[in-house]
Structure 1
Amino acid sequence: MVPIHLLSAALSVDGTNPPTQLEKLVLSGLEIFSIPHELNRFLRACTSLRILETQYRAYGQKPLGQEVNNQAVLKCLSALIYLEYFRLDYDLTGDIVEKCLKGRDAPFRRLRHLAIKGETATLSYILSLPMQSLTRLDLVVGDPFHHICPCIAQIHCLTNIHLEIGVDRHNPRYNVKFWPGLNDWEGTREDLNALSALKNLQTLSIGPSNINLAIPWLTDDYFIQWVTNFPDLLNICLEWECPLTFASVVALSKSHPRLRQCKLLWTQELGDWNDLPSPQFADLQHLGLSLVMNFDRSNIREFVTKFIKRPSSMSTCTLFRERGFDLDGNLIVEEADETYVVRLDAKAAAA
């Protein structure tokens, strides 16, 4: 890690040798309360910058009265007309983004990949900006009781979405009321219907962060119809609890046989796996299911061949068994305990 005084010196620009040709800048391991003020002046000089990534190093909760100097980063964005990738690894809250970017001329007009996290209201403002070139969005939403999907759906050019909903345990906003409950976040029809507008999706990933996600009203018929809105889908990872059955997995394999990654991590209680219908994935490489079932490791090959026509193409296959429930009724799944986790070596099984 570079001491902050050396970083400040490195960022100093004397005007005679400005970094106008710099295309990529990654600031990693920054102490979260020590962003140098020279950063603003330096970034304004990086007129050819295409990639900007800042990774902070947090140490517990933020002391009272201390704020991160992110305005130095945000204010310069309007000048970075060639910026294609922007990652800010710090919670954006309040109206900081609006204050820094309001009235600026389309600061993200060439952005292709955006990775940010923060409060729903703050992120919603960013997502409302003109971003006609944005194809990948990595979003961590820190409000488990709010809904961001309608805002995401405004960006019709998206092909890759990685959405994480929940709270950061190291964030000062995290407290006991955010301890995982049965239904911390319930997806609505408005959420899923909004995402249906993103017809070009190739990757869709939605998962929790220290909370539980649930869509208790979801049915097999609705899910099967919903995924047909994404004809180009290659990777799907949905980690939420819902009453969908194995029939939805089979239907997904028929509507999207070219899927490369399929992770459907809701709890599915199954009986004898020999009686299950066979999905029709053709090139599946990664499979993840959250199954409650009796499974004999000696039958690995037979199980794998139920999912793909060419088992040798699949590199990983993971099943999770139900372990039980805690005192609050929350499902406990312990990945580290091999008694309850079955990981299949698909290539070995196919040999």
Structure 2
Amino acid sequence: MVPIHLLSAALSVDGTNPPTQLEKLVLSGLEIFSLPHELERFLRACTSLRILETQYRGYGQKPLGQEVNNQAVLKCLSALIYLEDFRLDYDLTGDIVEKCLKGRDAPFRRLRHLAIKGETATLSYFLSLPMQSLTRLDLVVGDQFHHICPCITQLHCLTNIHLEIGVDRHNPRYNVKFWPGLNDWEGTREDLNALSALKKLQTLSIGPSNINLAIPWLTDDYFIQWVTNFPDLLNICLEWECPLTFASVVALSKSHPRLRQCKLLWTQELGDWNDLPSPQFVDLQHLGLSLVMNFDRSNIREFVTKFIKHPSSMSTCTLFRERGFDPDGNLIVEEADETYVVRLDAKAAAT
């Protein structure tokens, strides 16, 4: 249920600031997605609402009598015709979205920023809505055996996309990034081709949560050609495992020299760093790489200056390697030696 203090605060808006004038609302600390009738009526009265953020608590099965009931709320929110920013911190599953929105007249048609999470099938129905004003999409996909990218391809106005795959809050694993296991996600050509349609992207971020992402078939030539689909790209963060080499990094710096953030977190093996070609970034502010370093760490700053002329901060950490499971089902990990995988994070000095 909604905390009493929150409900009271929301209802107290009526008066000097009536709900019809409210443009931003943040609901935090909710136990379940089931609103009392008073707050539901309040939301229906917020006809000018432009920004709505919901922050929920509690995961897993609910006690009897506290089952999640979000149909009325979604129907209510879809009627807010001026809503531009909708962030929902709750797992959308099953056919709940289809039941609530099917047959409605262009719900959420003015959305510019959407942040949702849940199962692929449920999210795909939401993404099929005519949201041609949408410029930012934050997705957390909780079933890694399906592929959400083809469902995004029709959102041609997107400039920012943040995609997180494989959330499992109840079975956390170590943050390892090597070849995928049986329960992990492997990207396909269909996934990358679908993203290629988003020509206006300025920010592209794809990463895992508690699983490994991998694209083992990806080549330097394919990647170099693929990134040319995003001529306006300013920020890129790709956290998957693949066999790409340092040549892809250099090629990216040539095709997108004005990148501000470049985080390419697949494992790259470097030889003599003095022999490496220098990337051609002109104003890089944030660099992230996962490296097999064959040179002394004392030279790391000089290596970073190939990317960032005046770095202000740098950090490195040695990644852990997965070694399978023990007889009790516990994940076995060991720390890699200092010549193995090092996660590098560097930022430029403020100007």
- Which interval holds the TM-score relative to the shorter structure? 0.7 to 0.9
Q: Secondary structure at the match of 2:250?
A: helix
| Partner Cα separation in structure 2 for residue 131 and residue 190 of structure 1 | 22
**Structure 1 runs not aligned, ≥5 long:** none
CA distance in 1, matches of 2:17, 2:347: 55
**CA distance in structure 2 between the partners assigned to 1:8 and 1:71 by the alignment:** 23
- Residues 304-347 of structure 1: per-residue CA shift (max 9 Å, x gap): 22114555699999999999999999999999999988687857
Return closer, same or farther for 1:338/1:42 CA change in 2, 3 Å cut-off.
Answer: farther
- The alpha-carbon deviation at position 168 of structure 1 amounts to 2.6
Distance 1:343 1:120, change over 3 A: closer
Q: Deviations over 1:52-93 (max 9, x none)?
A: 110001255434664223223211123211100001101101
Cα gap change, 1:226 to 1:92, in 2 (>3 Å): same
Greater mean alpha carbon deviation, residues 152-161 or residues 67-76: 67-76
TM-score for the superposition, normalised by structure 2: 0.84
Alignment of 1:63 with 2:63, yes or no, is yes
1:32 Cα deviation after fit: 2.3
Which residue pairs with 2:88 in the alignment? 88
Q: Name the counterpart of 1:139.
A: 139
Alpha-carbon distance in 1 for matches of 2:330, 2:171: 23
Superposition RMSD on alpha carbons, in Å?
4.7
How far apart are 1:195 and its partner, in Å? 0.6
Aligned length: 351
With over 3 angstroms needed to count, the CA separation of the structure-2 counterparts of 1:269 and 1:231, relative to structure 1, is same
Is the deviation greater in 210-219 or in 340-349?
340-349
Once the two structures are superposed, residues 207-249 of structure 1 have per-residue CA deviations (whole angstroms, 9 ceiling, x without a partner) of 1111111111100000000000000000000011111111111
Aligned-pair CA distance for 1:3: 2.8
With 314-323 and 302-311 compared, the bigger mean Cα shift is at 314-323
Give the CA deviation at 1:273.
1.7
| 1:90-115 deviation line (CA, Å, top 9, x unaligned) | 11011111111111111111100000
Once structures 1 and 2 are overlaid, which stretch shifts more, 294-303 or 45-54? Answer: 294-303
TM-score (norm 1): 0.84
Displacement of 1:163 in angstroms is: 0.4
Q: Report Cα offsets for 1:17-40 as digits up to 9, x if no partner.
A: 851000000001111266323232
- Alpha-carbon shift at residue 253 of structure 1 (Å): 0.6
- Contact kept? 1:314, 1:347, Cα under 8 Å: yes
Bigger shift: 330-339 or 59-68? Answer: 330-339
Deviates more, 1:52-61 or 1:81-90: 52-61
Q: Which 5+ residue runs of structure 2 have no aligned equivalent?
A: none
CA distance in 2, matches of 1:271, 1:177: 21
Shift in Å, 1:284: 0.8
Rate the CA distance shift 1:12–1:170 in 2: closer, same or farther, 3 A: farther
